[in-house]
Amino acid sequence: MTRTTNTPLVEMRDISISFGGIKAVDHVTVNLFAGEVVGLLGHNGAGKSTLIKCLSGAYRPDHGQVFIDGQKVTINNPRDARAQNIETIYQTLALADNLNAAANLFLGRELINSAGLLDEAQMEAETRKIMARLNPNFRKFNVPVSALSGGQRQSVAIARAVYFNAKILIMDEPTAALGPQETQMVAELIEELKKQGLGIFLIEHDIHNVMKLCDRASVMKNGQLVGTVDVDKVTDDEILGMIIMGKQSNQGV
Amino acid sequence: MTQDPFTDSNSSKKPQSKISPLTSFLRVTEIDTRLAGMAGALLLIWLGFHYYGLFVNGMGAFLTPRNLWNLSVQTSSIGIMATGMVLVIVTRNIDLSVGALVGVTAMMMGILQVEVLPQYLGLGHPAIWVITVIVGLIAGAIIGALHGWLIAYCRIPAFIVTLGGLLIWRGMAFISAGGKTISPVDQTFALLGGGPYGAIGAWGSWVVGLIACAGVLWMMQSGRAQRVKHDFPLRPMWAEVLLAAIGCGTIIGSVLLVNAYPLPKGIIKALAAANNTIVPPEGIFISHGFAIPVLILISVGVLMTILLTRTRFGRYVFAIGGNPEAASLAGINTRWMTLKIFSLMGMLAGLAGAVASARLNSATNALGLLDELYVIAAAVIGGTSLAGGVGTIYGAILGALVMQSLQTGMVLIGFDTAIQQIVVGIVLVLAVYLDNLYRSKSK
């Protein structure tokens, strides 16, 4: 872990959000430093995705603040989040199935030419460039993404997050739908992005991936934060204990 | 995405053994198979009616300049609205109120130009038609925006909002004139509906045709230049030439067609009298040329195609149709988009109201009755998927032409209304079934 400064890249402080009386996220504080991968763990319904959607602009928290580089920011919608260089890879991938890879990659941020019209050729050329880096076998540039395999769709979603120079990357179970080879590809990508100084929030169920990829892990249960641990200093059993029992580990806090 | 201009670079490298010559021809020329299929179906319908008339009734009246010219005029109002309906259906909504909107906007325009404006400007003032059309478009846009607001911001399903709108605006059309028919409309306004005077003549048609040909050639040239710039695969030169020839050939063919339809003798006599000349005994041949409502339809079609395929607005329409959640996560304001789409639909209904009332030379409260069904049918026959996310403007216009061809054709060969309805209903269901087959095969 390379913590160069003491100011976290992101700090989500005391975040709460409830839906119809149910507290989905209950006074949770997490932070993330540049060049670090923080795993967000917990059962289904523990509030991980909801918490992260407060950062990506999909939800507005009822309570709490978000700080980026120590500055308080207001994120009301996905556009605000993107303006802060926060990119998200959703579990559902959030791709428009009827559009091709380039159209999805640039969705909401289309390149336009001098006449104000979409510059399709330029967008396709840029898509070819980034895909050549991420997934050199990718060839299907002119078909709707519904015609792509799970791994290919995933690489389109990742390309979308990486292309726009993200500082903060949120990955919601990026390897859930992937085969072993593609999972390895994502793992290598995470390592590479980390070296470039990005901060990554990784929602992950597979404890082996957590131990391999994450620097720290924040565990949630029933909307509350159980605790945050340094992954190097705990065993996978201890993390599993936190997830299942909701008890704070003694080590590595 | 059928409007995508590039082929998969991969497809040309696949083994060619299983591919029929037709498929590989279509692949190399990048002709949209759906477009080719629809054009073929239209041609079959036309030939069918013509030869049915020829053999059964002893007279083939369909493939005549006169009938095809009238067909083009009759298609205009439905075609204009069908282009907007594509956007509505692509975003997984529906608009049942467009027929009633035609009625109410036409009635407003009728009252304005017949009873209100002449009082202030004098009868026949040249500004009357301009003010009338602008007011009609704005009224349509406002009503559409109201529908869109109820749908997007009050979360009432589009089906309900526009079903209510169908009843409300039809009622409004009746009340606003007390059930009267407003007639005759302003003389210049009436030109929007076509008719012998509402056409641009032989020379005008040639100018329009040549501009259109130049447009086709320019589009193909700039498309090729873009591909060269980015090293994308190019179509072979013979395919480019063939496509240009088909495009320009169709345009020039339609110019020849509309110019082959002469003005009726009575009109020529009136024109001659106005110019102080005498009609020689063998008559004078003066061409109709393109009708003004057809030019309006073509302009709307071109503008809507640019809007849908070449702008951010159009891209967001497809994105919302494909995955509304993804669209909103990408920062697209889906509610505001819905409001704008319904407003645009309302404005097009206003334009269609202008064309339809101008054609009848009157505004009646029954104007546009059942149009919503023909408009939806035209969009759906043209390949717009009710599941959302898929549709083209040219398809909808062709769909409108198919619907109108069926109706006109059956009138010409003497089928009565009941049979017409049965046939149109069967064709609608069959067209969607065939479209489903096509889609599942092309996957």
- Taking the CA of residue B8 and the nearest CA in chain A, the distance in Å comes to 5
CB contact under 8 A, B332 and A140: no
Taking the C-alpha atoms of residue B126 and residue B136, their distance in angstroms, rounded to an integer, is 17
Nearest to B355 by CA among B86, B73, B4, B30: B73
**pLDDT score of B13:** 41
CB contact under 8 A, B329 and A90: yes
Taking the C-alpha atoms of residue A141 and residue A125, their distance in angstroms, rounded to an integer, is 10
CB contact under 8 A, B315 and A110: yes
Mean pLDDT, chain A, integer: 89
How many residues are listed for chain A in this entry? 253
Which two tokens mark B66? Answer: 């006169």
C-alpha B394: how far from its chain's center?
A: 8
A115 by Cβ neighbours in 10 Å (0-12 / 13-18 / 19+) ranks as: exposed
CB contact under 8 A, B329 and A140: no
CB contact under 8 A, A78 and B230: no
CB contact under 8 A, B329 and A103: no
Diameter over CA atoms, chain A: 62
- Taking the CA of residue B300 and the nearest CA in chain A, the distance in Å comes to 18
Question: Stretch B47-76: mean pLDDT, rounded?
Answer: 92
Find the residue in B nearest to A124 (Cα). Answer: B230
Taking the C-alpha atoms of residue A184 and residue A175, their distance in angstroms, rounded to an integer, is 9
DSSP for B331-377, written as a single string: T--HHHHHHHHHHHHHHHHHHHHHHHHHHHTSB-TTTTTTHHHHHHH
Backbone angles phi, psi at A17, to 5 degrees: -150, 135
Q: A-side interface with B, Cβ within 8 Å?
A: 56-58, 77-79, 82, 88, 90, 92-100, 103, 107-110, 112, 116-118, 120-122, 124-125, 139-144, 147
HSE-up of B154 (CA within 13 Å, CB side)?
12
**pLDDT score of B195:** 82
**In the predicted model, is pLDDT for residue B321 greater than 70?**
yes
**pLDDT score of B8:** 40
**In the predicted model, is pLDDT for residue B282 greater than 90?**
no
% of residues, chain B, pLDDT over 90? 70
How far from B9 is each of A121, A142, B12, CA to CA, in Å?
14, 8, 6
Which two tokens mark B195? Answer: 């008719």
- Taking the CA of residue B442 and the nearest CA in chain A, the distance in Å comes to 11
Chain A residue numbers touching B14 (CB-CB < 8 A): none
- Taking the CA of residue B17 and the nearest CA in chain A, the distance in Å comes to 21
Chain A residue numbers touching B318 (CB-CB < 8 A): 96, 98-99, 103
**In the predicted model, is pLDDT for residue B352 greater than 50?**
yes
Question: Strands A86-89 and A199-203, how do they pair?
Answer: unpaired
How do residues A203-244 score in pLDDT, each as one tens digit?
Answer: 988 888 889 899 999 999 999 999 899 988 888 888 888 888
**In the predicted model, is pLDDT for residue A42 greater than 70?**
yes
Sheet hosting strand A224-230, strand order edge to edge: A86-89, A168-172, A199-203, A37-41, A216-221, A224-230
Nearest to B317 by CA among B103, B306, A252, B383: B306
Count of Cβ atoms closer than 10 Å to residue B352 Cβ: 34
CB contact under 8 A, B326 and A96: yes
Taking the C-alpha atoms of residue A214 and residue A230, their distance in angstroms, rounded to an integer, is 9
**pLDDT score of A5:** 59
Taking the C-alpha atoms of residue A11 and residue A21, their distance in angstroms, rounded to an integer, is 26
* Cα distance between the two ends of chain A: 15
Q: For residue B187, what pLDDT band results from cuts at 50, 70 and 90?
A: very high
Q: Record the pTM.
A: 0.91
**pLDDT score of B10:** 42
Taking the C-alpha atoms of residue B356 and residue B360, their distance in angstroms, rounded to an integer, is 6
CB contact under 8 A, A56 and B323: no
Taking the C-alpha atoms of residue B345 and residue B365, their distance in angstroms, rounded to an integer, is 20
Question: Stretch B403-418: mean pLDDT, rounded?
Answer: 90
Q: For residue A4, what pLDDT band results from cuts at 50, 70 and 90?
A: low
Cβ burial A154-191 (10 Å sphere, 16+ → b, else e): bbbbbbbbbbeebbbbbbbbbbeebeeebbebbeebbe
**pLDDT score of B267:** 87
Chain B residue numbers touching A90 (CB-CB < 8 A): 329
Q: Number of A:B CB contacts under 8 A?
A: 101
Taking the C-alpha atoms of residue B199 and residue B76, their distance in angstroms, rounded to an integer, is 13
Chain A residue numbers touching B226 (CB-CB < 8 A): 120-121
Chain A residue numbers touching B391 (CB-CB < 8 A): none
Chain A residue numbers touching B9 (CB-CB < 8 A): 139, 141-142
DSSP for chain A, written as a single string: ----SSS-SEEEEEEEEEETTEEEEEEEEEEE-TT-EEEEE-STTSSHHHHHHHHHTSS--SEEEEEETTEEE---SHHHHHHTTEEEE-TTTT--TTSBHHHHHTTTS--B-TTSSB-HHHHHHHHHHHHHHH-TT----SSBGGGS-HHHHHHHHHHHHHHTT-SEEEEESTTTT--HHHHHHHHHHHHHHHHTT-EEEEE---HHHHHHH-SEEEEEETTEEEEEEEGGGS-HHHHHHHHHH----SS--
Count of Cβ atoms closer than 10 Å to residue A250 Cβ: 9
CB contact under 8 A, A122 and B230: yes
How far from B275 is each of A32, A45, B64, B279, B280, CA to CA, in Å?
86, 84, 30, 11, 14
CB B327 within 8 A of CB B316: yes
**In the predicted model, is pLDDT for residue B190 greater than 50?**
yes
Taking the C-alpha atoms of residue B137 and residue B133, their distance in angstroms, rounded to an integer, is 6
**pLDDT score of A81:** 93
Count of Cβ atoms closer than 10 Å to residue A147 Cβ: 15
Q: What is the CA radius of gyration of chain A?
A: 18
Taking the C-alpha atoms of residue A51 and residue A95, their distance in angstroms, rounded to an integer, is 21
**pLDDT score of A208:** 86
**Shortest CB distance from A118 goes to which of B315, B319, B328?**
B315
Question: Stretch B154-158: mean pLDDT, rounded?
Answer: 97
A103-117, B392-406, B415-429: range with lowest mean pLDDT = B415-429
% of residues, chain A, pLDDT over 70? 96
What ipTM did this prediction achieve? 0.89
Mean pLDDT, chain B, integer: 90
What is the DSSP code (8-state) at residue B31?
-
How many residues are listed for chain B in this entry? 443
Chain B residue numbers touching A103 (CB-CB < 8 A): 1, 315, 318-319
Cβ burial A221-248 (10 Å sphere, 16+ → b, else e): bebbbbbbbebeebeeebbebbbeebee
- Taking the CA of residue B268 and the nearest CA in chain A, the distance in Å comes to 46
Nearest to A193 by CA among A220, A226, A167, A219: A167
Chain A residue numbers touching B227 (CB-CB < 8 A): 121
- Taking the CA of residue A98 and the nearest CA in chain B, the distance in Å comes to 5
Chain A residue numbers touching B10 (CB-CB < 8 A): 139-140
Count of Cβ atoms closer than 10 Å to residue A77 Cβ: 17
B2/B46: higher pLDDT = B46
**pLDDT score of A209:** 86
DSSP for A211-245, written as a single string: HHH-SEEEEEETTEEEEEEEGGGS-HHHHHHHHHH
- Taking the CA of residue B236 and the nearest CA in chain A, the distance in Å comes to 19
Q: For residue B378, what pLDDT band results from cuts at 50, 70 and 90?
A: very high
* Preferred mutation among B30, B310, B335 to probe A, highest tally of A CBs within 10 A: B310
DSSP for B254-277, written as a single string: HHHHHHTSBPPHHHHHHHHHHTT-
Taking the C-alpha atoms of residue B380 and residue B404, their distance in angstroms, rounded to an integer, is 14
**Shortest CB distance from B1 goes to which of A56, A82, A99?**
A99
Find the residue in B nearest to A121 (Cα). Answer: B226
- Taking the CA of residue B15 and the nearest CA in chain A, the distance in Å comes to 16
- Taking the CA of residue B318 and the nearest CA in chain A, the distance in Å comes to 7
How do residues A187-213 score in pLDDT, each as one tens digit?
Answer: 888 998 899 899 999 998 888 888 989
- Taking the CA of residue A72 and the nearest CA in chain B, the distance in Å comes to 21
**In the predicted model, is pLDDT for residue B16 greater than 50?**
no
* Preferred mutation among B12, B329, B332 to probe A, highest tally of A CBs within 10 A: B329
Read off the amino acid at residue A51: L
Question: Stretch B347-368: mean pLDDT, rounded?
Answer: 95
How far from B368 is each of B78, B145, B194, CA to CA, in Å?
9, 20, 17
Question: Strands A37-41 and A63-68, how do they pair?
Answer: unpaired
How do residues B214-258 score in pLDDT, each as one tens digit?
Answer: 999 999 998 899 888 888 888 889 999 999 999 999 999 999 999
**Shortest CB distance from B319 goes to which of A90, A96, A120?**
A96
B20/B414: higher pLDDT = B414
Taking the C-alpha atoms of residue B360 and residue B350, their distance in angstroms, rounded to an integer, is 15
